A and B are shown apart, each in its own frame.
Chain A
Amino acid sequence: MKADITIDCIGLYCPMPIVNTARQMKAMQPGQVLEVVADDEGIKQDMPNWAKMTGNEFLGIEEEDGRYRVFVRKG
């Protein structure tokens, strides 16, 4: 999946990946895709839930060697 912007949340735990995602999203245009790279497993459930609450679209998650690449489209 291709993203417009990628943020690195490796080594960060809840709530930081969500906080950083919310901050980054504010600076983006509707339709743009954000990729969040993280290694806190909580993000697997947190990001879909966050997207649902905030009117953004959760596009999917790619898991590889304990790293998660999460894609969200700004609504």
Chain B
Amino acid sequence: MAEKEKMTLVLFSGEMDRALAAFNIALGGAASGMDVTIFFTFWGLNVIKKNEGGIKSKGVMRNMLNLMNRGGAKRLPLSKFHMMGMGKAMMQGLMDDINFPQVDELMVMAGELGVKFIACTTTMGMMGIGKDAFISGVDSYAGVATYIAEARRSSINLFI
């Protein structure tokens, strides 16, 4: 059997709307028989952080950063009209209206369809966060060479 077509997404952003777009495309690819990989880097790591508990890190600066940048799929702000969470709540209401799943639900579906989640270890090192900060759905922890190895064989490659 021929090798499956591949799709690689870089999710750099940590906002709900951008994550929705990323998972929408990832699910479409997986449902169309593609091998899909999402690299979560920089603010994108917030999408795959656990929703519960605290984020452990070392040092004052990193603790401050992780306090302000808590993350978790349920905490992602909107990139526009967030309005201290009011805009986001309204947007989620509109999504519920059309039975559109929330980010955490889309992530579970993506996992079920075999979408691979890879977390960027450089950002983890810089922000001082370990694997225990992330949901169990993360398949591996890697750097740019792994991204290149995937992306060079991908017919769809997006940076979100």
- From DSSP, what is the main secondary structure of chain A's interface residues? helix
Which of the four size classes fits the interface of chain A?
Answer: 10 to 19
CB of B99 within 8 A of CB of A15, answer no
Given A14-B24, A23-B113, 19 more pairs with CB closer than 8 A: A12-B99, A13-B99, A13-B100, A14-B28, A15-B24, A15-B27, A16-B99, A16-B100, A16-B101, A19-B28, A19-B109, A19-B113, A22-B32, A22-B33, A22-B113, A50-B31, A53-B33, A54-B33, A55-B33
CB of A11 within 8 A of CB of B31, answer no
Is residue A18 within 8 Å, beta carbon to beta carbon, of the partner chain? yes
Number of A-B pairs whose CB atoms are under 8 Å?
39
The 4 closest A-B pairs by CB, nearest first: A22-B31, A15-B28, A53-B32, A15-B27
Is residue B126 within 8 Å, beta carbon to beta carbon, of the partner chain? no
Which of the four size classes fits the interface of chain B?
Answer: 10 to 19
CB of A54 within 8 A of CB of B101, answer no
Which chain B positions have C-beta within 8 A of A15?
A: 24, 27-28, 31
Some 8 contacts from A to B, beta carbons below 8 A apart, are A13-B99, A19-B31, A19-B113, A21-B31, A22-B30, A50-B31, A53-B33, A54-B32
- In this complex, what residue of B is CB-closest to A19? B31
CB of A18 within 8 A of CB of B28, answer yes
Interface residues of B in 93-142 (CB under 8 A from A): 98-101, 109, 113
**How near does chain A come to B9, taking the closest CB pair, in angstroms?**
14
Contact residue among A12, A13, A19, A55 (Cβ-Cβ distance under 8 Å from B27): A19
Interface residues of A in 47-64 (CB under 8 A from B): 50, 53-55
CB of A11 within 8 A of CB of B24, answer no
